[in-house]
Every structure is written in C-alpha cells, then in structure tokens.
Structure 1
Amino acid sequence: MPLSTSKSEKAKSFDLAYQSSGMYYGWVVRPEFERFFNNIDLTGKTALDLGAGEGRYSIHLARRGCAVTAVDFSASGLNKLQGIAEQERLPVTTVLCDLETYAFPENTFDVVVAATILDHLETGARHRAMAGMAAALKPGGLLYVNVFTTEDPGYAAAGAVDAEGVSDTSFGMAHYFAPGELKSCFTGLALLDYYEGVEEDTSHGKPHHHGWASLIAKKE
C-alpha cells in the first residue's frame, strides 16, 4: 500500500510548492469538468472548492459567475488564490482549514468540487468528507470529483516519488481508488458522467502518469 506523509509535513511541502511565482499545477482544469460546466449558466451560483490549493477550479468557476468558497490547509496556496481573485475582482472567499475538520453547511452550494483531495484523506476522514459534500449540495446541485486510482504508477511505487513515472507530489496520497470505487461512493446522487483512464501529466515536475477516475453527479 502507498505510504502516507504526516499532515504537517504535507502542509509544509505544498506551501513550498505553491510559493513558486507561477501556478505549480497550471491553470488547466480536467477536460470532462470543462466540457460539462461550460455548457451550464453559472451566473449567480455558489460553489465550494475543497482542497483548492492555488485555486485553478475556484478561478475557473468565479470567472463564470460563481461565488466560490475555497478550502485548503495551505496558507501559501490560498494567499496566491486570494491575490488572483482580488486582482480580477472575482467573488472568492478562502478558508484556511484542514478538510478533516471542515464543518460542511447543509443545502448551501450549487456546485461542489473535490479535485484530487479525497485520495489525500485517511478512511474515516474520507467517508466523512464524502457525506459532507453530498449534504452541502442544494437540491439540484452538481458534484464534481476526481481522484487517482490503483492504475496510477504511484500506487505500485508505494510513496517512492523518485520512481519512474511517479508524480513528485505523490507523497501526499493516503488512498488510491480501486476500479469502480469512486462510482460506488455517491450512490445517493444521480450519476451524470463517469470516467476512468491512465494519462500522462506534464503540468509539474518531471513527466509522469496518473490513473484517473472522475465523477459528475446531481442531487435530486
């Protein structure tokens, strides 16, 4: 099984990565996210971005008219996000908080995003977060989640970030999702889109690959 770094070490590592002048993970959101949400009028909607980091999903949604609440445990990531939001006069509120202790408000958001964050949580915290995400959606609200799967080279490498084809930030992983596992996590919501695959990632560090799963679902 993959090794998990302590929360304080993770926070320090991500703080350091986010102190770079550019966007460490780039600006590009996942293609299935862009395809789906670019066909929806988000003007006046509310969104919750969990594990927001530097905020590529937060900025994308805010530019489309969403008022975004961005949650992360990295102060430097949120500072960068807040600076971009202020410069562009975008409605983004940042919350410095470990997701394990975040108090999910019920029936509050039109959109909830959890991009590569559930796989950073240990079992109890992960299940609590998934329940909180569903509860935080308004009726008719949309959930977008992506995670890394056991097809990811980082899973076989068990935390060895210098292994061939492994991401330089795989140290933060606590759980790689088995095939079909993500789909089974939100059975109380209506599934709208699901994807699994292996792809190259050149957005940060040395070129590497990820096993991906993504889900878009709706709260009826």
Structure 2
Amino acid sequence: MFTGIAEEIGHIRQIKRSGHSCTLTISCRTVLEGTKLGDSIAVNGACLTVTRMDQDSFDADVTPETLRRTSFSICRPGSPVNLERALRLCDRLGGHIMLGHVDGQGKILSFRKLDNSIEVAITLDKALMRYIVEKGSVAIDGISLTVAERTDTGFTISLIPHTGEKTILMDKKPGDPVNIECDYIGKYIEQLMKDKPGEGLTLGMLQSLGHGGSYGL
C-alpha cells in the first residue's frame, strides 16, 4: 500500500522492451534507502517490484496489463517519474490509502492559476467517472489529491506550490496522459452491491460490514 506522497522524482534511464511488456531501469537515490530486492515501489502510481538495484538505480518489470492501463507505453529514457516506497505500519498516512493498481488514464485538459494554487482540469472515461466523488480522494500519477469539482466528463484538483515542486505534474501539458487510481472503497462497495442484487443498501448491511457504530447510525 502507498499514501500518495511522492518521496522523490526519479528518471527512466533505460527501457528494455519485450513483446507487450518491458523492463524499466529508473535512476533515483532516496527510495533506495532501506529497499531490498522484491520490495514494492510506486512509479507514477503503479506498484512495481524491484528486481535489481544498485546505489543509484533499480529495475522493475512491467506486465502487459500494467503497460496497457498506464502511460508507461509513451515513456522514454529521461522521462521523470514520481516515486514512493510502500507504506510501513509506523508511517504517517499523509495522503490516502492507495494500492498502486492503476485503473486507467486521464488526460490533462488545462491549468489555471488561482491565487496560491493551480487548478488542474482532467478528463476521464465515463467508466471511471462513477468512482470520482467531489471532495473525495483520487491518485494522479501516484499523487494523493482531493477532487475539487466533478463534471460529466472529468474533474478538477487544486495543486499547491509544494506539491507542484515535489512531483512531475507541473511538467505536464494539456493533452498529456496521467495514471489514475480511484478510491478503492467505492469499487468494493459497487462489487458488494452487484453480488447482492435486489437487496439494496440497508443499515443492517452496513453494520454487518463494520460501519455505522461510530457514526451514530
């Protein structure tokens, strides 16, 4: 699991392609501290396994499924990437819980300066828009962000200067793709409702799932 707080901006050093998959070599330093072979690192929000490492880089294999759902297919040597090590139980949860399982890609629509922040508008397929909730959480290229406004075709987020400096989002331009991971809680609820057709969402169901006690229900 991850929190969506990028620890470092790394750079893709090499891409070894093989059919519909590839191996990435990524230059970095901070995320290698305490990391060992087999550990997970989120690369632009996608959970990848460290298969080789040295003092300033690591390798990770990208499967056909990950390549299809993410923007790795258009990455080139030198491309910057957001990096985050997997969450430890003793860490602060500064963002929101993320699994590192990218749902799909959105596209940058526009940037707009608003006082001390930048409003970023993103378009997203309708299939994923049902998981986007105003004031809810969404991961964009592995960054935990809050949905400011929801539209029929996308949503906006507000980016503070610190986040812009510590991540690659401000390096993007309109039309560029971004990896999107929706809040997993909504997906689980949707699946639970599909598995119980005709019952509807009831207080008893919520309580059986461990909800309601601390909310006065």
TM-score clears 0.5:
no
Higher Rg of the two aligned structures: 2
**TM-score, normalised by the number of residues in structure 1:** 0.25
- The answer to which structure has the higher helix fraction is 1
- The answer to which structure has the higher strand fraction is 2
